[in-house]
Structure 1
Amino acid sequence: MSTKERPTLGGTRIKTRKRNIAAPLDPASFADAIAQIYIDHGGDLELIAKDVEASELDFSRYGETFFEVVYTGGRIQFGSTKPEEGERQPYCILNSEASREKILPYVLFIQKIIRRRPFMIKSLENVMQRLLQSLELYGQIDRLKLAIFTALTFSQKLSGLPPENIFSVLLKDSLVAKGTVLGFITDCFNEYLVENSFDDLIALLKRAKIEDRLLEFFPMQKRTMECFSEHFSKAGLIPLVEYNEKKVFDVKLKELRNYLADQFSEDVNMDELMESLKQRCKEASLPDAEVVRTVWEALMDAIQWSGKNQQQNVNLALRQVKTWGALLGSFTNTGKLELELIYTIQTYCYEDAKLMKLFPEIIRALYEKDVLAEDTILFWFKKGSNPKGRQIFVKGLEPFVKWLEEAEEED
């Protein structure tokens, strides 16, 4: 056997191949270590935070295990509230009192940990999702604690926690059907409003993308506006009831406006359109004043404005008013509604500079179509209360008003 060494190239280094050495997966030991830190410091969160920050435990791998210990005192079996074997610590969120004062320190503690280890926000999100998906397995008091914690988490603006991913898991059929979710979000909203305004709550619901889905948190048999109003009124959330009613109302008006837009683009019978429109407004319980404003806006939206050509704009607007004026007239059957129409036209012309000179022409056209009465026009001219562009519009209408007064004297 030859003992000669193998030839090598001078000046080269032989690289040793590194092995991929994987650390053993041992979440149980990690959970025991965290629980022991809690026990050693008797639940003092300041001291616990210092030890956690100084430790060399693998939080990137066992972040979810860490938050399980913070919430429940130890590891929990997936899909249940039963504990896994191992060390348990009694100073957890679910062992605290169901009050803001007792739970807020845990939120601040988690906030401090995440500031040092931002990557753990995803682990917190995953654990919160699992706990909320298991709400039905917890008692009413524990659900209240979770609601308080969730509200405080967003109230304290825990960096990076997406409300959409937290609240969306609550729309689980089994949770919704039993009313579990409805009670949870009610407690959560009330707690959030302790230190935040109602506008802040609406902003949170928008970020969570549930602002328009609140009715989905009600069991199917109670998914009505009446049940919505009754439930949240009893819970002291009357502003939420009023806000939702306005949202529903705005949706109805938008649907009406879209319906009219479709009708204006077709060759429809005026009488049939009037009847259909009145029926829709009755079913939607829309007040006549809102209908008058909506019909006017829909009429103007249907015009293809010609830009800077003022005379052409006047002609287009007048043609639209004369064509569809009877539709407006079917809803202006009182002096008060006629005045509401004038205010609507006044505001509309004021908000678009190119339409400022249109106002007197439109008023005259509506008078000729018997939509506006002489008395209403004179009342607006002398005592109208809408200040938007009033001086300009009054001056523009002077010749027509003078003509009306002279005609009245002759009569």
Structure 2
Amino acid sequence: GGLNSADGGYFDIVIGNPPYGFRTVLTKEQKEYFRKEQKIEFRSGDSAELFVKISFDNFTRPNGILAFIIPKKSLYGDAWEDTRINYWRKYDLKFILDTGKSFDNVLLEASVFGLKKVNVEIKIVSVSFLGKNGVNNVGKFLLDKLFAESNTLQIYKAQFPSIIEKIEKIKSREKLVEGKLGIAIGTDFFSDEETDYKLLKGIDIGRYNIRSNRFLKNREKLKWENAMSFLKPKVLTQRLVAHIEKPFPHLKITSCYDDEGIIITNTLMSFEINEKITDKFWLGYLNSKFLSWYAYNFVYARAIRGMDFYNFYIQQLPIPNISLNQQKVFIELVDKILLNHNANTSKWEKEIDIRIYRLFQLTYEEVKIIDPDFSLSEQEYNEFKI
């Protein structure tokens, strides 16, 4: 055989651990060569994606299998979409194994896939993940059931079918929010001395409150029209999503309300919000345990590093189909939290969580899956009036 052989490649089985990286592995000239000369599109810029495509196209025979361990972001990152659509979804994806942090002293998370070079009408994939005591098999599932509308591969949807079904039933089908990233500026625009305009970074905000700020200098060097759009009251969220290990692995989305209209940097996201959703409801929803749990499992595929709250991921969040009248109680609760942000606001935050669980018609057992530390008894939860 050979690269130009009639059967299209060398091997029945190709197994590999390709080099990862999109900044230092390939030079700019090398990327241009593969994209322009070899006509290989790999939007991620990651050498691992390039190896996947070359190895599958050129080295794997028809009916052969390619099995690689690659960055976990291949499951959910927008830049890996072409690999998911034109390889995993086009051919016969046999298995996905989420290995997490699979190597000592290596922070990058990974996943393993096995892809058979054949077209089949019904695609069934085996899903598993690497736990402390070895590989845990989740089961075998129709591939289409695990692909989201965003063309991401959400393998953990298979574990919670009843919750997913309820979310799909209750969520709005409209595009109600649009994420807007703050301006990209360096420290030469930051001042500790007061100027005409305050400036916020991600580190400056907490849940429901602004903790600190700096000031904008060198305004004349800035594209002012970009900054002006932020000079209005708005909901803000830290762009980097925090992963927390204790008491159990979860994400924490951190959002606050800026009533002054402060300019923000690109470590923060703001939002353009449809008139059907109030900003205070959106704020309470962003800070809810439900939404962080959903994002952890079904947007970021239980990743623990490098989760950015960009618009691509924001669009994957389910927003309940809720009337403006139903939102009033959430607005009242959020206003209490904002007014008393220096005090203990946990009782109002817990009530928001409960109301969101009830909004999605979740059972007590399903709530305990989302929040193992949920404090209400089953009777108290079932009797809670919304």
TM-score normalised according to structure 1 size: 0.26
**Larger relative contact order, structure 1 or 2 (CA cutoff 8 Å, min sep 6):** 2
Higher Cα Rg, which structure: 1
Relative to total residues, which structure has the larger strand share, 1 or 2? 2
TM-score normalised according to structure 2 size: 0.27
Relative to total residues, which structure has the larger helix share, 1 or 2? 1
